[in-house]
Amino acid sequence: MRGHDRINTCLPDEVILEIFRHLDSKASRDACSLVCRRWLTLERLSRTTLRIGASGSPDLFVKLLSRRFANVKSIHIDERLSVSIPVQHGRRRGDQSKLSALQLHYLTKKTGSEDGQFQSESYYLSDSGLNALADGFSKLEKLSLIWCSNISSLGLMSLAQKCLHLKSLDLQGCYVGDQGLAAVGKVCNQLEDLNLRFCEGLTDTGLVDLAHGCGKSLKSLGIAACVKITDVSLEAVGSHCKSLETLSLDSEFIHNKGVHAVAQGCPLLRVLKLQCINVTDEALVAVGNRCLSLELLALYSFQQFTDKGLHAVGKGCKKLKNLTLSDCYFLSDMGLEAIATGCKELTHLEINGCHNIGTMGLESIGKFCRNLTELALLYCQRIGNLALLEVGRGCKSLQALHLVDCSSIGDDAICSIAEGCQNLKKLHIRRCYKIGNNGIVAVGEHCNSLTELSLRFCDRVGDEALISIGQGCSLQHLNVSGCHQIGDAGIMAIAKGCPELNYLDVSVLQNLGDQAMVELGKGCPLLKDVVLSHCRQITDVGLSHLVKNCRMLESCHMVYCPGITAAGVATVVSGCANIKKVMVEKWKVSERTKRRAGTVISYLCVDL
């Protein structure tokens, strides 16, 4: 019978809830919640995660949300994200005024002022809001409070007492004290993940008390820029946190003693990230000798240890899969060779600014680390073609290659990678001026699985390279910013050969015009993000053709495009139903466009 509701009649709540849980986007969930009152109620019950800003009236929002979403287990609050009372399209002005009145009532009640001169605290999450959060979300397991600087130990103590199931707590940038952290340790016995980056109010006292309280359950700990946390805290971690698997340290007040204590007391450690300028080879040797389960090691800005530390890691950490070496000036080829011969399960390697590591060290990686899937070389002036020739021969499983400012690497190296690593999916190259058409043509001929290609400011790459890519690969992501030799022919080849393209950056291409835009509109209907800035030959005509067929477009950057006028900007805003961000000069935005879509327009330079 026409109009009969078969779904609501036949399906019980449990089935509809399960369907809602499998929806992969917020837009889909929101659409379902508008079908009927029952679906609205069930959709709210199916939500387990909330992400809100902490500017606007966050305390009020927490109270409102707690009444609507009873089953939330994960909340992310970020002070850097602004929020406002939502205005629903289609409501009468009187209804909107009620929402504004609700916000005004809340602020008046909190500040005792009706003249608009609200205290600044009203616009940020406070202890009161944190207490309301604890009262309203009893099932909370994961909480992130990013840069919520107005909360204190009192709010954290209230949270700890009421959220007994808390497993993950991120306090990045929160000025909480030792009492709050001690309360968390005393009550939250299931806590597994704790982030204390930029918590300047903490001292050793708070972290030691936490380690005593919930050390048995803690698996992940991050500490950065906490000037009053020293080796004393790490000794407590080593003594009480036997299940610790992940440790991230960024501090000039941590020394060998603290790292040694963790290495000795945490045998299950799998991830270690260190940026501690006062840590030397002695600590790294302890890690190599004790942390036999280590899988990821990241060393940043180390200037006091040498190849001796890497030799210890290579000898002891046989399960190491991921290694990052950044600005480690005293490491050489010998240290990298020790890693290659000892850690043959290595899958990810990043070398950034280690100026004494050269071709020989990376050659050893190619010879011994056959399972390598991702390689990143940044500012490695001494690594040349021979290194990547060896990687191409030995690392057949390589899927991602990142090269930045590697002045000694050229087409021969890229050809070897293309021929030997045919499973390559991501290739990112920036400012490698010896790489030209020959290398990229080889990629197009051999790497048919390539989906992401970034060639930023590679002056020798032209249309010939992109024609080959368009014929051999089905890209989803392309960035050719600053490749001055690329023009319409290359981008048209991409448009014809890459129908799944969803991201395109062609900024600073002086030879690119409307013809390429027409072909992109025809061939790439899935395009969501496009960057056209500094393209002087693109006009409103080309832009209209692009917008006409790319109905999924969400962001468009078109700054410093003299051929694009206010009419072109209006075309993008009116023709793209999903548009979320348009970046353009302020003077190109008409008053009508501002009224229609002012919230999606961003201005790079205000007074152009």
Instruction: Give me the pLDDT at residue 4, please.
Output: 62
Query: What residues contact residue 12 under an 8 Å CB cut-off, 6+ apart?
Result: none
For residues 487-510, give the mean pLDDT. 97
Tens digits of per-residue pLDDT, 311-368? 999 999 999 999 999 999 999 999 999 999 999 999 999 999 999 999 999 999 999 9
pLDDT above 90 covers what percent of the chain?
A: 72
Instruction: Give me the pLDDT at residue 301, please.
Output: 84
Label the pairing between strands 271-275 and 220-224.
unpaired
Q: Do the beta carbons of residue 387 and residue 412 sit within 8 Å?
A: no
108: pLDDT confidence band, cut at 50, 70 and 90? Answer: very low
Residue reference for tokens 């048919």: 448
Instruction: Give me the pLDDT at residue 82, please.
Output: 57
For residues 384-394, give the mean pLDDT. 97
Instruction: Give me the pLDDT at residue 3, please.
Output: 56
Residue reference for tokens 């290359």: 490
Instruction: Give me the pLDDT at residue 22, please.
Output: 82
Label the pairing between strands 555-557 and 581-584.
parallel
Tens digits of per-residue pLDDT, 441-471? 999 999 999 999 999 999 999 999 999 999 9
pLDDT at 419 over 90: yes
Residue reference for tokens 């002036």: 381
What is the phi/psi pair of residue 353, to 5°?
A: 70, 25
| Angstrom distance (rounded) from CA 154 to CA 369 | 52
pLDDT at 207 over 90: yes
118: pLDDT confidence band, cut at 50, 70 and 90? Answer: very low
For residues 500-519, give the mean pLDDT. 97
| Angstrom distance (rounded) from CA 53 to CA 124 | 9
Mean residue pLDDT of the chain comes to 89
Task: Give the lowest-confidence range in 61-65, 263-267, 308-312, 399-403.
Answer: 61-65
What would the two tokens of residue 258 be?
Answer: 């603290």
Q: In terms of pLDDT, which residue wins out, 595 or 533? A: 533
Instruction: Give me the pLDDT at residue 115, please.
Output: 41
pLDDT at 120 over 80: no
pLDDT at 119 over 60: no
pLDDT at 262 over 60: yes
Prediction pTM value: 0.87
Q: In the chain, count H helices and then E strands.
A: 25, 21
What would the two tokens of residue 554 be?
Answer: 């969400």
pLDDT above 70 covers what percent of the chain?
A: 91
Residue reference for tokens 């291409």: 509
pLDDT at 176 over 50: yes
For residue 427, give the 3-state DSSP assignment. Answer: strand
For residues 229-233, give the mean pLDDT. 96
558: pLDDT confidence band, cut at 50, 70 and 90? Answer: very high
Query: What residues contact residue 130 under an 8 Å CB cut-off, 6+ apart?
Result: 145, 151, 155, 156, 158, 159
In Å, how far from its chain's centre is CA 576? 26
pLDDT at 105 over 80: no
